[in-house]
């Protein structure tokens, strides 16, 4: 490689008199990507210049499919609707959401993130103790997880379930939800192999974008249909608006459709 680099530099010098020679591993991206490439008659083309060899190349991600893959759970299968809360458990918001659910006498599904479970196992225990359903939401909310190699997807999901069961031994985790809803057929397949159904949603009021509580309430009311799965968040940021919307959202859904836990 050294000889090649030297040769490239020497050849390049003939053309680019002022260009610095990036040999010896100290090259900069600018030096290895000149505006006019050196003549390469004597050299086979290098696949990719890598001035900093210590940094591994970025893994190639498989493309996202244009359509959602088959096999997603998107409705409850009954007339009743289901509430799902993502990105927790969170010490600021999850207890308050649990209080609201308890007051309304409904149960929900919590799509939990592994790193959050590790930090707040007591909250996970409360979620389970109060009769809610669990859903694996990846180890660290990796939006690109579904696009990674299958072995990496599997390791992430297994690690997350292991953390859940460290907090609640023998916890049932019947669902997986891909962060961002960025599903691929591969992640659905891995989840299935791990006995988890892939849980999408029907109604997304986009509470993560911090609309007002009134907007969240209006969006849910407008979009909810029999059997809807409603996506809300109890973690991942300030959830004051979600919390403020909870009481009315839940009351409205109970009145119009009935609320049931996913099974
Ligand atoms: Zn999420």
Is 239 part of any domain?
A: yes
- Strand, coil or helix: 132: coil
Cα 50 to ligand 1 centroid, rounded to whole Å: 35
Is 29 part of any domain?
A: no
Write down the pLDDT at residue 31.
36
Q: Considering the candidates 86, 90, 207, 234, report the single residue annotated as catalytic.
A: 86
Domain count, the chain: 1
d(CA 186, CA 156): 13
| CB under 8 A, 24+ apart: contacts of 4-10 | 4/43, 7/42, 7/43, 8/38, 8/40, 8/43, 9/38
> Does pLDDT of 54 surpass 80?
no
Question: In the chain, pLDDT over 90 holds for what percent of residues?
Answer: 76
Question: In the chain, pLDDT over 70 holds for what percent of residues?
Answer: 80
- Specify the CATH number for the domain of residue 243: 3.20.20.370
Q: Considering the candidates 137, 233, 234, 257, report the single residue annotated as catalytic.
A: 233
d(CA 82, CA 101): 12
Q: Which tokens hold the place of 139?
A: 């180890």
Is 105 part of any domain?
A: yes
Is 180 part of any domain?
A: yes
Is 133 part of any domain?
A: yes
Residue range 208-222: average pLDDT?
95
Is 127 part of any domain?
A: yes
Write down the pLDDT at residue 155.
98
Is 61 part of any domain?
A: no
Active site residue 233: yes
Q: By residue range, what is the domain housing residue 194?
A: 82-257
Is 172 part of any domain?
A: yes
Cα 178 to ligand 1 centroid, rounded to whole Å: 7
Active site residue 257: no
d(CA 106, CA 126): 15
Cα 218 to ligand 1 centroid, rounded to whole Å: 21
Nearest to 82 by CA among 211, 174, 184: 174
Neighbours of 67 (CB within 10 A): 7
């Amino acid at each position: 490689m050294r000889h090649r680099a030297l040769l490239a530099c020497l050849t390049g010098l003939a053309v680019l008199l002022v260009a610095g020679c990036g040999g010896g591993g100290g090259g900069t991206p600018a030096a290895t990507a000149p505006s006019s490439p050196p003549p390469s008659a004597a050299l086979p083309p290098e696949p990719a210049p890598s001035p900093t060899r210590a940094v591994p190349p970025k893994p190639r991600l498989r493309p996202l499919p244009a359509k959602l893959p088959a096999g997603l759970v998107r409705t409850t299968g009954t007339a009743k609707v289901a509430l799902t809360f993502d990105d927790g458990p969170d010490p600021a918001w999850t207890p308050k959401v649990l209080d609201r659910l308890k007051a309304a006498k409904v149960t929900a599904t919590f799509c939990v993130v592994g790193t959050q479970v590790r930090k707040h196992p007591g909250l996970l225990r409360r979620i389970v103790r109060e009769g809610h359903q669990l859903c694996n939401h990846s180890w660290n909310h990796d939006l690109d997880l579904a696009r990674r190699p299958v072995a990496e997807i599997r390791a992430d999901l297994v690690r997350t379930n292991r953390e859940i069961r460290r907090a609640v031994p023998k916890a049932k985790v019947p669902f997986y939800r891909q962060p961002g809803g960025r599903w691929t057929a591969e992640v659905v397949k891995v989840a299935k192999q791990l006995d988890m159904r892939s849980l999408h949603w029907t109604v997304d009021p986009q509470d993560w974008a911090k609309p007002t509580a009134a907007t969240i309430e209006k969006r849910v009311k407008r979009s909810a249909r029999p059997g809807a799965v409603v996506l809300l968040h109890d973690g991942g940021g300030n959830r004051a608006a979600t919390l403020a919307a909870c009481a009315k959202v839940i009351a409205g859904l109970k009145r119009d459709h009935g609320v049931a836990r996913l099974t």
